[in-house]
């Protein structure tokens, strides 16, 4: 019982039987988690229990919760486990690809292994776009390049078992949170090419809820946007209230508003977005960025007022929009950076 494959399942079809059979042939112990399936599936799970351990949730708790239920079971009952794999129940992953990841995890016990799909024209367009967006968002959030952030085929050594049980998240966001945690803790991530399988153009077998689950996955970027937007509102409110009172006019009002709003933004980003302590180094780095942005802010503000026939208030909004993305990138790559680029490897086919 050295290699264990976890399979979360919700109202599965016959493809799950094939997955279990093939993993059985490969001498992998299987933990199948029934995540609140309908009662009509009880007999199906009973049949599969002849070749795997079946754990049940009385109601649907989410993919992340199902994975953690299995991980906790391994932690408490299966002490001989050395390597753990996770795969979906819908047939989009091949047990033979799972085998590749398990072997890679066995020889790289400190790493987290990902099955990386090729996002070509055979992949449904919604999945291609979703993976591209998530790939970019993850890079902006962590500074780490992972080609397939949405893959459900994963493997890791039992050395990482305790870590994986503590990653927050109960549904699809758990998988993204695992990647973010690995990036932050400098856990190497290795991508292994796997076959890309979709059963139809709409990927109808997936239980992914596009709006709710996407919000969960993109939460960090949304938090950054919320912190930046609230900082903008503070800055804009101060700017508009100080203009009539500023002796030196627009520049003085802009500087005063930026000093207060930048201090607020720094505290918000430390506590709510990047989870960094307020240190002297980050404070100095942020101060340098704030001074640079203040300089650019004044330059752009004067530029927009000179070029476009718009009010000073409209010019202020336009200036802040232009500087938003630049501020995000600088904070992620330099101020709150986590030097992770070297911790991601991509295995070439045939290795």
Q: Is the pLDDT of residue 197 over 90?
A: no
The whole-number pLDDT of residue 65 equals 94
How do residues 45-84 score in pLDDT, each as one tens digit? 999 999 999 999 999 999 999 999 999 999 999 988 999 9
DSSP β-ladder status, 112-116 and 154-157: antiparallel
The whole-number pLDDT of residue 12 equals 92
Q: Is the pLDDT of residue 349 over 90?
A: no
Closest CA to 348 of 192, 229, 241, 239: 192
* pLDDT-above-90 percentage for the chain: 36
How do residues 103-128 score in pLDDT, each as one tens digit? 999 999 999 999 988 766 666 666 66
Closest CA to 292 of 242, 331, 253, 239: 331
206's CB contacts (< 8 A; 6+ apart) are 90, 92
Other beta carbons less than 10 A from residue 173's beta carbon: 23
To the nearest whole number, what is the mean pLDDT of the chain? Answer: 78
The dihedral over CA atoms of 234, 235, 236, 242, expressed in degrees to the nearest 10, equals 110
Mean pLDDT of 218-237: 68
CA angle 254, 257, 263 (to 5 degrees): 130
With beta carbons less than 8 A apart as the criterion, state whether 173 and 138 touch: no
- Per-residue pLDDT band at 330 (split at 50, 70, 90): low
Please tell me the distance from the alpha carbon of residue 218 to that of residue 226, in angstroms, as a whole number: 12
How do residues 277-322 score in pLDDT, each as one tens digit? 545 566 666 667 667 777 777 788 888 888 888 887 788 788 877 7
Ramachandran bin of 156, using left for φ above 0, alpha for ψ from -120 to 50, beta for the remaining angles:
beta
The whole-number pLDDT of residue 308 equals 85
Half-sphere exposure of 290 toward its Cβ, with a 13 Å CA cutoff?
Answer: 21
The whole-number pLDDT of residue 144 equals 81
* pLDDT-above-70 percentage for the chain: 69
Q: Is the pLDDT of residue 190 over 80?
A: yes
The residue ranges of every structural domain in the chain are: 3-217, 221-335
Please tell me the distance from the alpha carbon of residue 246 to that of residue 228, in angstroms, as a whole number: 25
CATH class of the domain comprising 3-217: alpha beta
State phi, psi for 172 to the nearest 5 degrees.
-65, -20
């Amino acid at each position: 019982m050295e290699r264990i494959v976890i399979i979360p399942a919700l109202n599965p079809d016959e493809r799950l039987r094939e997955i279990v059979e093939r993993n059985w042939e490969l001498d992998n112990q299987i933990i199948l988690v029934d995540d609140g399936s309908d009662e009509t599936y009880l007999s199906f799970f009973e049949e599969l229990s002849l070749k795997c351990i079946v754990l049940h949730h009385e109601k649907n708790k989410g993919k992340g919760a199902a994975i953690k239920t299995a991980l906790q079971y391994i932690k408490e009952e299966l002490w001989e486990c050395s390597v753990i794999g996770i795969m979906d129940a819908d047939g989009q992953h091949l047990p033979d690809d799972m085998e590749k990841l398990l072997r890679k995890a066995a020889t790289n016990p400190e790493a987290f292994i990902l099955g990386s799909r090729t996002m070509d024209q055979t992949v449904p367009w919604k999945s291609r776009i979703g993976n591209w967006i998530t790939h970019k968002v993850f890079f902006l959030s962590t500074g780490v390049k992972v080609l397939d952030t949405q893959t459900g085929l994963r493997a890791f050594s039992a050395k990482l078992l305790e870590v994986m049980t503590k990653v927050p998240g109960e549904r699809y966001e758990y998988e993204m949170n695992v990647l973010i945690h690995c990036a932050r803790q400098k856990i190497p991530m290795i991508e292994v090419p796997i076959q890309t399988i979709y059963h139809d153009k709409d990927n109808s077998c997936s239980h992914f809820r596009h709006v709710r689950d996407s919000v969960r996955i993109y939460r960090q970027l949304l938090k950054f946007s919320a912190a930046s937007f609230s900082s903008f509102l503070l800055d804009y409110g101060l700017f508009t209230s100080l203009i009539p009172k500023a002796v030196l006019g627009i520049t003085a009002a802009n500087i005063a508003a930026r000093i207060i709003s930048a201090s607020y933004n720094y505290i918000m980003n430390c506590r709510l977005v990047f989870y960094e302590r307020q240190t002297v180094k980050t404070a100095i780095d942020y101060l340098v960025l704030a001074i640079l942005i203040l300089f650019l802010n004044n330059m752009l503000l004067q530029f927009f007022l000179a070029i476009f026939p718009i009010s000073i208030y409209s010019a202020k909004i336009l200036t802040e929009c232009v500087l938003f993305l630049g501020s995000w990138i600088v904070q992620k790559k330099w101020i709150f950076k986590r030097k992770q680029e070297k911790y991601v490897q991509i295995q070439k086919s045939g290795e």
